[in-house]
Structure 1
Amino acid sequence: MTQETPPTLRRSLTWVHGAAMTTGSVLGSGVLILPALTANIAGPAALIAWIIMSALSFPIALTFARLAVKIPHAGGITAYVRAALGTRMSRSLSWLFLGTFPIGVPIVALIGADYVGSVFALSHWQITILAASIMLISIALNFRGIELASWIQVMLVILIAILLVTAIAGASPHIHSANFHPFVIHGWWSVGTSAVMIFWCFVGWEAATNLTEEFRNPHRDVALGLIVASIVIAILYLALAIVTIGAKAYGDHLGLAPLSILVSIGFGRTAGIFTSVLALLITFGTVHTNIAAFSRMLYAQAREGEMPHLFVTLHKTYQTPTTALITMGILSEITILYYGLFSPNLSIMIQLISVMDMATYMLSMFSATRLLPRNTGQWYTAFIALLLCALIYLFSGWTMIYPPLLIGLGWILAKKRPSTTAETLLEHSECTID
């Protein structure tokens, strides 16, 4: 009796799609508030934290690109951990992902909706309905296929970049050198604290790796897309941080929409509409890419027998993971409904998601040091990224215990099955690369 071959994902992506999807995933809702919030914490010295995190993004992105080429698997991070540390650890990591998505992605939608609500004085339930609509529209578009989703992402990233550049250019004439002095207002520890918050702005590089099986030429396109995305994101973030501090567009008195203050410096009354459009585009782009990536991860895990087999189901026409998308939609709307009913503290939820992302990246970089050739540029790049991620993790306070608890729970519950070795995954990779 022969085992039925699981359906395969359609190859249709280029490096342009990869760069757009990654940029949309990384350039998230944090950009709406974190340049101002980190300036509140560290003053002008927050620029150092932004520079450090921008520099860290390059070894992380390059390492993910190397791993994606070595193991072009829709499971992304879970596939790398499986190859380096075994099937049981991969299943344990799946629990970390399962604890992240149902909270993390809806939070992104809620932050964007809340930003719009703060500009237009929307009620709590209007904000909740707006966030739910963002999730539903993105789920529906992802049903139609990754190529449509990726081209939508390309257009969104272009619009986001134009709007951010316009905001930066409009406020640039109002930069004053006096606003950078004194430089270190709250001590150097505040720079480390700012870096922990900023980490959330640089999460999302792994999104392209979950889509590796759908690239036409993964050897070239994944790395090129990630490098282009790294450059674009670093330039936009640093420019926005400089303008925010130089134009003094921060402070507790500015309320929940600091970016609208920055825009109003250059454009006056149009700031409300401008920042609302920007907030919605950024939010939708982040949600859109994360839904695409996580649904592929669920599909890949089910294909490997590590998740229920029903997640292997693909749409007959569009070859998209329908069951995974439906499940994600239901869990997301439950989280948003919980927010609507009980109004939980989003800052604590954001902190938990950020620390889980850091733990995931540390496992990814550690796996890379076991999979990539030792004493090579690739290996040292992964090692440097691992050390820097671990250093930032130390600033996360009590929330650092949450990822080990989830991974430990997954380890206990994971069934004992034969481990998938690195050789098995590499053999599968050779079959999938054209």
Structure 2
Amino acid sequence: MTKTLAAQDASAHTGGRLTLWQGAALYIGAVLGTGVIALPAVAVRAAGPASLLAWLGLILLSVPLAATFSALGARYPDGGGVSTYVRHTFGARAAAVVGWCFYFAVPAGSPAAGIFAGAYVATAFGGGRRTVVVTAAVLLILVAVANWFGLTVSGRLQLALTVILVVLLLAAVVAALPHAHLKNLHPFAPHGWPAVGSALTLLVWSSAGWEAITHLAAEFRHPARDLPRATTLAVVAVSVLYLAVASATVLVLGLAAGNTDAPLGELLALGFGGTVQVLAAVTALLLTLGTMNAYFAGAARLGAALGRDGALPTWLAQGSNAGEVPRRSLAVVSGLSGLTLAATTIADVGTEPLVLLTTSALMPVYVLGTAAALRLLPRRSLSHRSALLAFVATVTLLIMTGWYLLWPLILALGALCYLQWRRATVTKHEVSGS
């Protein structure tokens, strides 16, 4: 561990604005998100009732992953998050690759999240694809505005959203349980056992978020104390809600769940009677708003840190200090997200490519982040053992990603080329100045 990074130990760090509960809410929102409103049906299509094993595997992966990033964020709070840890472990090039992968994953994932929510709104109010696109655009604007005014506003919004959505999700599950039937578990693996692996690859979208909180660690009032507590609250809440919704989807809807794009709406309709598309749409909007809010906050902070460290233009460095608002970086993330939404609308492509592009871009973040943790965290500690488990699991998932790995390879090439160009430019100016 370098002295530079060790000097950032959170034991003496205070002055951020996020409280424990606001931080936990941001964390829950970042991870829970749109996966719970769309992916239970996608998983059933891929593996049938055996998709429950994929959800269980996802949770088993999430625990060490969350513990690893929580330990890193609590010890070394910095807006660069995983990129900073990788920089001090493997150097500037690896850090730039990680930073670019996360930063440019958000503009791909945010429109997909908005489209998921838009499908629920279109079901409730009609309007077809136009409603879907308008909903996604409005959500992008809302989270950009909330983050423009800083994490105080964003954190309070997230706390309110999280309380409401947890109540709605639990209400949907409890109300639908009387309609559950064990016969819906048969046949358990209609597409064979390998399909469980395919379902798990898709569900990686639902595990994305455990790394996002590291970019906001410096914003906690007491990172060393509050970040681990916020992580524990988030892990418990997310695990319970994911398993509850996935189990209810299988036991209540059976294989028919694979034929719907709004499984949560189906559960609400069965539980409360009649058509409750409006309630389902509200729940979907709250979930999506929470996810996008947390990711915009993390990506904006990361972009400023990358600008500060020379991995992106220095113009983006404004707002890189704790307590400041990185508005320039936020503007770039918002603009790229809007362009992605426009491009996918014009090309008329679905959300699956965006989901896979996002998860594939995040895989190098997980692999290099957990590898850095193995060097930075105290050996024989619980956090170090968690990092080892997380590293093995993420390498396995990286291999399973397939040809979508071309996207992070392109981002890696872009990051390395930018560093080379910047180094050559600086050298040229130094020579000219001398």
Q: TM-score, normalised by structure 2?
A: 0.89
**CA–CA distance in structure 2, aligned partners of residues 250 and 25 of structure 1:** 29
Q: Any conservation in 2 of the 1:244–1:250 contact (CA below 8 Å)?
A: no
**CA–CA distance in structure 2, aligned partners of residues 45 and 250 of structure 1:** 11
Match of 2:347 among 342, 345, 350: 342
Match in the other structure for 2:129? 124
Match in the other structure for 1:148? 153
Q: Any conservation in 2 of the 1:168–1:240 contact (CA below 8 Å)?
A: yes
Q: Match of 1:272, as an amino acid?
A: Q
Match in the other structure for 2:3? none
Deviation string, structure 1 residues 228-257 (Cα, Å, up to 9, x no partner): 100000000001111111112553774322
**CA–CA distance in structure 2, aligned partners of residues 320 and 50 of structure 1:** 36
Q: Any conservation in 2 of the 1:12–1:214 contact (CA below 8 Å)?
A: yes
**CA–CA distance in structure 2, aligned partners of residues 34 and 363 of structure 1:** 27
Question: Matches of residues 276-425 of structure 1 in structure 2 within 5 Å?
Answer: 276-314=281-319, 319-415=324-420
Match of 2:223 among 218, 223, 236: 218
Confirm or deny that 1:274 pairs with 2:279: yes
Provide closer, same or farther for how the CA distance between residues 43 and 126 of structure 1 changes in structure 2, counting only shifts above 3 A.
Answer: closer
**CA–CA distance in structure 2, aligned partners of residues 307 and 296 of structure 1:** 13
Q: Any conservation in 2 of the 1:18–1:225 contact (CA below 8 Å)?
A: yes
Q: Match of 1:381, as an amino acid?
A: S
Structure 2 unaligned blocks of 5 or more: 1-12, 424-434
Give 3-state SS (helix, strand or coil) of 1:251's partner.
helix
Match in the other structure for 1:198? 203
Confirm or deny that 1:71 pairs with 2:76: yes
Q: Match of 1:368, as an amino acid?
A: A
Provide closer, same or farther for how the CA distance between residues 189 and 227 of structure 1 changes in structure 2, counting only shifts above 3 A.
Answer: same
Match in the other structure for 1:178? 183
**CA–CA distance in structure 1, aligned partners of residues 59 and 112 of structure 2:** 23
Q: Any conservation in 2 of the 1:250–1:258 contact (CA below 8 Å)?
A: no
Give 3-state SS (helix, strand or coil) of 1:296's partner.
helix
For this pair of structures, how many residues does the alignment match?
410
Q: Any conservation in 2 of the 1:249–1:262 contact (CA below 8 Å)?
A: no
Q: Work out the percentage of aligned pairs sharing the same amino acid.
A: 31
Match of 1:18 among 4, 23, 39: 23
Give 3-state SS (helix, strand or coil) of 1:415's partner.
helix
Provide closer, same or farther for how the CA distance between residues 163 and 13 of structure 1 changes in structure 2, counting only shifts above 3 A.
Answer: same
Match in the other structure for 2:44? 39
Provide closer, same or farther for how the CA distance between residues 74 and 315 of structure 1 changes in structure 2, counting only shifts above 3 A.
Answer: closer
- Shift in Å at residue 372 of structure 1? 1.5
Q: Match of 1:152, as an amino acid?
A: L
**CA–CA distance in structure 1, aligned partners of residues 251 and 131 of structure 2:** 35
Q: Any conservation in 2 of the 1:145–1:320 contact (CA below 8 Å)?
A: yes
Give 3-state SS (helix, strand or coil) of 1:187's partner.
coil
**CA–CA distance in structure 2, aligned partners of residues 151 and 284 of structure 1:** 13
Q: Any conservation in 2 of the 1:31–1:201 contact (CA below 8 Å)?
A: yes
Match in the other structure for 1:244? 249
Q: Match of 1:136, as an amino acid?
A: I
Q: Any conservation in 2 of the 1:109–1:134 contact (CA below 8 Å)?
A: yes
**CA–CA distance in structure 2, aligned partners of residues 150 and 43 of structure 1:** 38
**CA–CA distance in structure 1, aligned partners of residues 311 and 401 of structure 2:** 30
Give 3-state SS (helix, strand or coil) of 2:276's partner.
helix
Q: Any conservation in 1 of the 2:103–2:303 contact (CA below 8 Å)?
A: no
Q: Any conservation in 1 of the 2:27–2:294 contact (CA below 8 Å)?
A: yes
